[in-house]
Amino acid sequence: MNHGVPDEIERKLRRAATLEWWSIFWLLTIIAVMYFAMGSSQAMKSAWIEDTLSLLPPILFLLPRKFENKPATEKYPFGFHRVGSLAFLLAASALTAMGGFLLYDAVSALILQEHPTIGNITIFGWDVWMGWLMVAALIYSIIPPVILGYIKKPLARATMDKILYTDADMNAADWKTGLAGIAGIIGIGFGFWWPMRLRRG
């Protein structure tokens, strides 16, 4: 037992920590795949930044676990329990900033009527429109977070951990962003220039 945390909860937190390590691993693979698929597309770059920033909640869940159980010191006589709240504040601020950036980016692009150009590429002798690669990358980017999100949710509820809960919720809702992105690229494929902008909004 750690600082009044029941064994049952501690076990769940440990399981959540394992899941967060898995989240980081899968996110890194997604970031790599998205990087190779994005080409010069500005919209995919935004999606890529979004994926990179979504590394923050798992990291900010794992980091405080290293500190919060440390014994109190002379300088911090009440211990380090509140590190979790500080991490939550950081994660929340980062996500708000990201949301604001994406909204600004989308609205300004819509107002300026930026037109997304997506060319083609040769892979193993096949001439492929990069839009299809982006769709494939986006499909891949949906699967691990949604599965992990649904596994993390009950753990977050049971442990009453707010970072874990936010992370699980965000992951579980990831398919919406992914599907909107896919719709955006297919829309561009059909010759509409604006769907990607709305998606980002």
Partner 1 sequence: MRSTIIFSKTGRPLVAMLVMSLLIACKVPDDPEGTTEEVTGNILRVGTLIEPLDRADADAVARVANAVQAETELVTGDPHTLFAQLEDGKIHLIAGRIPASTPFAADVALTDPLGGIMLGNDTEDRVLAIRKAENRFLITVNRTIRVTIE
Instruction: Give contact residues for partner 1 (rule: CB under 8 A).
Output: 115-120, 122, 127, 129, 131, 186, 188-193
Residue (84 or 131) nearer to partner 1, CB: 131
- The smaller minimum CB distance to partner 1, of residues 6 and 119, is found at 119
- Whole-angstrom Cα distance, residue 141 to residue 139? 5
Shortest Cβ 191–partner 1 spacing (Å) = 3
Find the shortest distance in angstroms from Cβ 186 to partner 1: 7
Of residues 106 and 155, the one with the C-beta less far from partner 1: 106
> From the centroid of its chain, how far is CA 110?
24
Q: Say if residues 134 and 180 touch (Cβ distance below 8 Å).
A: no
Shortest separation between residue 40's beta carbon and partner 1, angstroms: 9
User: Which residues touch 177 (CB under 8 Å, ≥6 apart)?
Assistant: 47, 50, 199
CA dihedral of 143, 48, 30, 99, whole degrees rounded to 10 = -50
Query: Least distance in Å: CB of 127 to partner 1?
Result: 7
CA atoms within 13 A on the CB side of 164: 28
Q: Which is nearer to partner 1, 33 or 118 (CB)?
A: 118
